Amino acid sequence: MTKTIEVSDEIFEKIKDQIETPKQAESKKGLNYCIVRTYSAGVFAGWLKELDRPTQTAVVLDARRIWYWSGSASLSELAVKGVGKPEECKFPVAVESIELLQVIEVIPCTEKAKESIKNVKEWTAI
């Protein structure tokens, strides 16, 4: 049952207070799904929440480490076309949030690439 309240002839639906999760942040305007390359920590794909260019730090939500990809010649192609051979890619579990240091490259992804990356089966050593 939906609870509503009427104020000045307008009806409002009561929505339960929620803490935003990275998955909910996907629909938040202003966040871009990107590939972020660092100097020494590797490459990550996720929702770019913050980028501080002077300190070269970024906060990425729902982030997956791009440990090994196949079917794309470069990170640029990966960001535009997605993975060509998803069964050969090695993308570990996504973490809710990660702060990345020494960011040297941020590439926004197309919708096609985002879906491709998100649909790669989780790679695990367990």
What are the chain's domains?
20-118 (2.30.30.100)
Token pair belonging to 36: 């972020």
SS3 120: coil
The number of angstroms, rounded, from the C-alpha of 122 to the middle of its chain's C-alpha atoms is: 15
- Which residues contact residue 50 at a Cβ distance below 8 angstroms, ignoring those fewer than 6 apart? 57, 58, 59
pLDDT of 57-67, one tens digit each?
999 999 999 99
- Which residues contact residue 97 at a Cβ distance below 8 angstroms, ignoring those fewer than 6 apart? 22, 49, 59, 60, 61, 63
pLDDT of 82-112, one tens digit each?
999 999 999 999 999 999 999 999 999 999 9
What global pTM score does this model have?
0.76
